[in-house]
């Protein structure tokens, strides 16, 4: 959660591709980060803030905002992404 109450979530937009990647890390799996913004009552809105084909980072599991940066982590990749958020 960020300081504004938004929840940032790493996601797998193609679950079956993720299963193949989990078995063989040389195969790439798309990455996605969603931002969930609380609304009235128990409602919230969802916006996609990051989507890639997996060539830069495969199978994202976490997205975290830090200032104007988005940090994205993965299941098996031995790296993470540090992205600048647009306004």
pLDDT at residue 87 tops 70: no
Question: In the 8-state DSSP scheme, what is residue 26?
Answer: T
Q: Where is pLDDT greater, at 34 or 25?
A: 34
Question: Once rounded to an integer, what is the mean pLDDT over residues 65-82?
Answer: 92
- Closest of 65, 81, 48, 29 to residue 73, by C-alpha: 81
Name the residue ranges covered by the structural domains of the chain. 7-84
Beta bridge pairs of residue 48:
34
Q: Where is pLDDT greater, at 50 or 41?
A: 50
Give pLDDT, residue 40. 85
**Sequence-separated (6 or more) residues with CB below 8 Å from residue 31:** 10, 12, 13, 50, 51, 52, 54, 56, 57, 58, 59, 60, 72, 74
Contact 28, 58 (CB under 8 A): yes
């Amino acid at each position: 959660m960020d300081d504004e109450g938004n929840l940032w979530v790493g996601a797998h937009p193609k679950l079956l591709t993720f299963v193949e990647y989990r078995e063989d890390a040389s195969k790439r799996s798309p990455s996605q980060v969603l931002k969930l913004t609380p609304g009235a009552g128990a409602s919230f809105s969802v916006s996609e803030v990051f989507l890639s084909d997996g060539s830069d980072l495969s199978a994202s599991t976490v997205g975290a905002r830090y200032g104007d940066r988005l940090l994205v982590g993965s299941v098996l990749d031995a790296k993470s992404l540090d992205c600048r958020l647009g306004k």
